[in-house]
Amino acid sequence: MSLYYIIYLSLIFVSLVLALITLRKGDKKSIYLVLVLSITLFTESYATILIHNRQQFVWLYHLFCPIDYTLFCLYYLNTCSQYALRLFTKCSIPVFILFCWYASHNNYTTADHYHRYSIPSINIVFESFLLFILYTHLLFCLNVDLDNPAYKHLDFWLSIGILINYGGNFVFLGLYPYLFKLNTDKTLNLFGLISRPLNIVLYSCIIAGLICLIRSKNSFTS
């Protein structure tokens, strides 16, 4: 296992432990972080094993993508009070699940090499676009003042991590299918160079946010 995967999986594990602590202390919405981090840790660990054994692993991400989106939406719904955005988010979940099923079904019923053996880039692009909108709203709706600065909020760090990670994925994966067809090996290498630091940033932000939540005196009232 490479140094990156050791660091990456360790960050996810630490995030999960901290989320379990906040959940046990009474932060109810942390259940969605516990779920998404547990599923992420399982998915990435299993993918690492399959990669090590030189087996196909992309099917994992076809399953993971709609679950990931649903859980981040449920977390957002526990922070948002605006009716229109809540309705949009609730409606987007079944629509996105159906979209992922349709896109993934097409991938695995085509003989085209790109579609059968590549990551579900269109699914991730759609997810990234939607989460970018939702968590931009969350970021700018934080209840902050001089005595309660934004950087002391879990939602600040979570939003920053999601905007950087999913924003970066949206830009690159929008071009991924075209680059893949031009040069498969170089595109896969480029994907690793871009996605790896984005992943590190996301889980580092989640850890920072959870630490802020644990240290806060007024955190566990919800």
> What pLDDT, on the 0 to 100 scale, is given for residue 57?
86
> What pLDDT, on the 0 to 100 scale, is given for residue 113?
47
The two three-digit tokens of residue 73, written as one number: 């939406």
Q: In degrees rounded to 5, what are phi and psi of residue 169?
A: -65, -40
Q: Is the pLDDT of residue 158 over 80?
A: yes
Looking at per-residue confidence, does 186 or 45 come out higher?
45
194 and 168 in contact (C-beta within 8 Å)? yes
pTM: 0.89
Please give the Cα distance from 155 to 205 (Å, whole number).
10
Dihedral sign, Cα of residue 86, residue 68, residue 17, residue 4: negative
Q: What is the mean pLDDT of residues 1-25?
A: 94
Q: Is the pLDDT of residue 114 over 50?
A: no
Q: What is the CA 157 to chain-centroid distance, rounded?
A: 13
129 and 170 in contact (C-beta within 8 Å)? yes
Q: Is the pLDDT of residue 218 over 60?
A: no
Confidence class of residue 117 from pLDDT cuts 50, 70 and 90?
low
> What pLDDT, on the 0 to 100 scale, is given for residue 127?
96
32 and 72 in contact (C-beta within 8 Å)? yes
Please give the Cα distance from 185 to 55 (Å, whole number).
17
pLDDT per position as a tens digit, 195-212: 899 999 999 999 999 999
Q: Is the pLDDT of residue 76 over 90?
A: yes
> What pLDDT, on the 0 to 100 scale, is given for residue 189?
78
pLDDT per position as a tens digit, 123-157: 999 999 999 999 999 999 888 777 778 888 999 99
Q: Report the range of poorest mean pLDDT among 20-29, 93-102, 119-128.
A: 119-128
The two three-digit tokens of residue 59, written as one number: 């099917």
* Cα separation values, 39 from 103, 154, 167, Å: 21, 20, 21
Q: Print burial letters for 2-16: b (CB count within 10 Å at least 16), e (below 16).
A: eeebeebbebbebbb
Q: Is the pLDDT of residue 221 over 70?
A: no
Q: In degrees rounded to 5, what are phi and psi of residue 148?
A: -140, 70
Mean pLDDT (the chain) is 88
CATH number belonging to domain 3-215: 1.20.1070
Burial of 71 (0-12, 13-18, 19+ CB in 10 A): buried
Q: Report the range of poorest mean pLDDT among 16-20, 51-55, 102-106, 184-188.
A: 184-188
Q: In degrees rounded to 5, what are phi and psi of residue 216?
A: -70, 140
Q: Print burial letters for 182-218: b (CB count within 10 Å at least 16), e (below 16).
A: eeeeebeebbeebbeebbebbbbbbbbbbbbbeeeee
Angle at 101 between CA 99 and CA 106, to 5 degrees: 100
Q: Report the range of poorest mean pLDDT among 32-46, 52-66, 97-111.
A: 97-111
Q: Is the pLDDT of residue 111 over 80?
A: no
Instruction: List the domain boundaries for the chain.
Output: 3-215
Q: What is the CA 57 to chain-centroid distance, rounded?
A: 18
